[in-house]
A and B are shown apart, each in its own frame.
Chain A
Amino acid sequence: DGGITQSPKYLFRKEGQNVTLSCEQNLNHDAMYWYRQDPGQGLRLIYYSQIVNDFQKGDIAEGYSVSREKKESFPLTVTSAQKNPTAFYLCASSMRTGDTGELFFGEGSRLTVL
């Protein structure tokens, strides 16, 4: 089945460690996104990529890094510079334009920094 796979689903790390969250899609979508969600909050855009080898910062990019070497993959690294990394991270993909701009989301990765 086509979809978006995020891993790991749950992740615990010590403060000061870098963490990489995986996101893979087989929908043949050009665009991919990373959102952060805190309890009771909306989704805030961290980074997005419209095409391979290109990506742009979203609203809260500080302390995060991404790469887009392949169309299918858009990993997110949460660095030690991120002051409050504990959150629910959602990856999404979409057609580059499309009629509705629909985003297809993965099941999320819940990161807890101890």
Chain B
Amino acid sequence: GQSLEQPSEVTAVEGAIVQINCTYQTSGFYGLSWYQQHDGGAPTFLSYNALDGLEETGRFSSFLSRSDSYGYLLLQELQMKDSASYFCAVRTLNYGGATNKLIFGTGTLLAVQP
């Protein structure tokens, strides 16, 4: 089967750093994506890792270790507007190469407190 595990909830204070972990068990792994979703809204793309290592995009960074089937999203200098759900998603591979068919985790609800 295919599964992704994330913590269900994380709480942090404004200005702090928070790390959201994701472990996955999938066949045909190609890359790991992260999406943000505010309550009732559309998920938006944050970051993507196809290779091991750290990708930095402003206050957000994402890390991948393919050998450990593990990744994380790091949010720095937290702001109240970062309160949202964060989903990791595996990009799958088939005989034709990489697909954009994503398998999503169940999401981590981040609450940023003043």
Contact = CB atoms under 8 A, between A and B. Distances in A.
Interface of A: 31, 33, 35, 40-45, 48, 50, 58, 88, 90, 94-108, 110
A106 B42 contact: yes
Interface residues of B, number: 28
A103 B100 contact: yes
Interface in B27-63: 30-31, 33, 35, 40-45, 48
9 closest Cβ pairs, A-B complex? A100-B48, A105-B42, A42-B106, A42-B104, A43-B104, A94-B100, A101-B100, A101-B91, A102-B45
Nearest to A98: B100
Given A95-B100, A98-B100, A101-B91, A43 B33 contact: no
A90 B101 CA distance: 14
Interface of B: 4, 8, 30-31, 33, 35, 40-45, 48, 87, 89, 91, 97-107, 109
Contacts of B102: 43, 45, 101, 103
Contact of A43 (B45, B87, B99, B109): B87
A58 B89 CA distance: 15
Contact of B44 (A40, A97, A101, A105): A105
Interface of B is mostly: strand
B46 to A, nearest CB: 10
B48 A101 contact: yes
B87 A45 contact: no
Contacts of B104: 35, 42-44
A19 B105 CA distance: 27
A41 B109 CA distance: 10
A42 B107 contact: yes
Contacts of A106: 42
Nearest to B102: A103
Nearest to B31: A101
Nearest to B8: A40
11 contacts: A41-B107, A43-B43, A43-B87, A43-B104, A100-B45, A101-B100, A101-B102, A102-B45, A105-B42, A106-B42, A108-B41
